[in-house]
Amino acid sequence: MTDIVKIKTGSKFEEIGSYSRLVAVDNWIFVSNTAGRNAQTGQIPEDVIEQTDQVFANIEAALASVGSGLGDVVASRVFIQDPADTHGVMTRVGEKFRGIDPASTVTCPPLGSTVYKVEIEVTAFRGAASAPTERRTIAL
């Protein structure tokens, strides 16, 4: 029997869009596109790096709710509102994912509001952080 856990945070956007912040299907964990809104204060920092830090705090809290963490992330999708912010955001993303090295997509589409400067979505596999990992470099 497959175990499925769906986590909601109480966000009005989850209710409006009828989605979960996180869905875990056995060891696979899917975290919805996550913005930098502080759940306790409802505030979104104006600074793009502060937003990025809040996005990671939100993702880490969601992952922790099902016994996982950033080390289990195997894929990320980073959405940056302004292409001029890409270097700064990806530098911070690189700091958070250093040594984890998930597959990653980075794009600069319009986001749901100009308030959002960065959003990140991740897929994780519970236990990936402690699994033996073979690292290879290939020429493309």
Strands 28-34 and 118-125: antiparallel
**From start to end of 3-136, where are the E strands?**
4-7, 22-25, 28-34, 73-80, 103-107, 118-125
Domains, the chain, in order of start with CATH, read: 4-130 (3.30.1330.40)
Convert the pLDDT of each residue in 75-90 to its tens digit.
999 999 999 999 999 9
Structural contact between residues 108 and 83, judged by C-beta atoms closer than 8 angstroms = yes
Q: Which residue's entry shows tokens 């958070």?
A: 96
Q: Distance between CA atoms of 35 and 55, rounded to whole angstroms?
A: 5
Does the pLDDT at position 11 exceed 90?
A: no
Convert the pLDDT of each residue in 47-79 to its tens digit.
999 999 999 999 999 999 999 999 999 999 999
Q: Distance between CA atoms of 78 and 123, rounded to whole angstroms?
A: 12
Average pLDDT over residues 7-29: 94
Phi-psi map region of 51: left, alpha, beta (phi>0 left; psi -120 to 50 alpha): alpha
Structural contact between residues 48 and 85, judged by C-beta atoms closer than 8 angstroms = yes
What letter would DSSP give residue 105? E
| Predicted local distance difference test score (pLDDT) of residue 33 | 95
Convert the pLDDT of each residue in 20-38 to its tens digit.
999 999 999 999 999 999 9
Q: Which long-range contacts link 88-95 to residues 24+ away (Cβ below 8 Å)?
A: 88/48, 88/49, 89/48, 89/49, 89/52, 89/118, 92/49, 92/52, 92/53, 93/52, 93/120
Average pLDDT over residues 120-136: 97
More confident residue, 13 or 86: 86
